[in-house]
Amino acid sequence: MDDTDRELLAQLEGNARLPVATLARRLGLARSTVQARIERLEEKGIIAGYALRLGDAARGDRIRATVLISIEPRSTPAVLARLKTLTQVEAAHTASGRWDMVLQLAAPSTALLDEVLDAIGEIDGVKGSESLIHLSTRIDRLG
């Protein structure tokens, strides 16, 4: 990957729907060259896909939370299997330090969020948790 590929990726991160002609103009390259670079980046798995980013108007009715959990040794696969069944769990990341996993949750109400937090606490292998309710978003580069 060279500097041109990095700039192409930066442009696509800003707006993945940019026409190839616009990308070519911005990069100072031929349209066919940009198209070939995109295809190569897709084939190499550098571009894994394209996704819809919802704006605040669509996400505004969701209560979001980060949940930190500690897990009994050797229980991670079973805990993950159970977490996958909870649709309010949007992402789960393993972590180093005091907590073993960081979860991202979203629910339409505090009542449902409370139910999900209880369900997480009841999973066999979960030793403890700490919940952080998101109040407002000040920076969002991930969408």
Say whether both 63 and 126 belong to one domain.
yes
Q: Report yes or no: 89 and 103 within 8 Å, Cβ to Cβ.
A: yes
Count Cβ atoms within 10 A of the Cβ of residue 129 and give its class: 0-12 exposed, 13-18 middle, 19 or more buried: middle
Domain of 7 in residue numbering reads as: 3-43
CATH code of the domain covering residue 101: 3.30.70.920
pLDDT, position 61? 74
Q: Are residues 70 and 125 in the same domain?
A: yes
Exposure of 127 in the CB half-sphere (CA atoms within 13 A): 11
Tell whether 66 and 114 lie within a shared domain: yes
49 within a domain of the structure (yes/no):
no
Q: Are residues 79 and 116 in the same domain?
A: yes
State the total domains in the chain: 2
Domain-embedded: residue 48? no
Question: Average pLDDT, whole number, for the chain?
Answer: 91
Segment 73-132, tens digit of pLDDT: 999 999 999 999 999 999 999 999 999 999 999 999 999 999 999 999 999 999 999 999
The reply to whether 62 and 129 lie within a common domain is: yes
Q: Return d(Cα 137, Cα 7) in angstroms, integer.
A: 27
Any idea how long the chain is? 143
Q: Are residues 38 and 65 in the same domain?
A: no
The stretch 51-58 carries a mean pLDDT of: 68
Assess if residue 103 is contained within a domain.
yes
Pair 121, 64 in one domain: yes
Q: Is residue 119 part of a domain?
A: yes
Query: Which residue carries 């030793």 as its tokens?
Result: 127
